[in-house]
Amino acid sequence: MIERINFPIPYPTLVTCPFCIKGCVACSDGAIEIDHKEAWAQIQRPHVIKFLADNIETVSRELANLFNCNPTINTRNNIHKEDGKWTLLEMTTSEGSVWIAVPIEKRKPEYFYSESEMNRWLV
């Protein structure tokens, strides 16, 4: 069974009258107004996930603004390679992670957009 998530419906809202038959006494025009805060709609979780995936940039920006969810930057480790010493940083955002190898000597840093790409560089 697909998990469902409850969301409050906007109110007041008009819904198609579920009782409508000839001479309906529940409504006058085929619609019923719901005007209270306790009305909820069940949304299938995959639809919620799809919405988040399709709108990740906007969602990420709003999360940062509303909940102060800023990227985290951690020092992963310091490494010695044949060409010198490097500090490996991991930057994580709600959209994913990037890894940056910063050389101790004056050279350009290396950027990795996947962990496997970084691991290949480490070998």
- Residues of this chain that interact with Zn ion (CB under 5 A) are 17, 19-20, 24, 26-27
> Based on CB atoms, which residue is closest to Zn ion, 25 or 53?
25
Q: Which is nearer to Zn ion, 9 or 27 (CB)?
A: 27
Hey, what are 4's tokens?
A: 């469902």
CB nearer to Zn ion: give 10 or 18.
Answer: 18
Over the range 49-75, which residues count as b (16 or more CB within 10 Å of their CB) and which as e?
Answer: eeeeeeeeeeebeeeeeeeeeeeeeee
Give the shortest CB-23-to-Zn ion separation in angstroms.
9
Cβ distance to Zn ion smaller for residue 30 or 96 = 30
Q: Can you read off the two tokens belonging to residue 95?
A: 């959209």
Shortest distance, position 8 Cβ to Zn ion, whole Å: 24
**Min separation Cβ 29 and Zn ion, Å:** 8
CA distance 12 to 37: 9
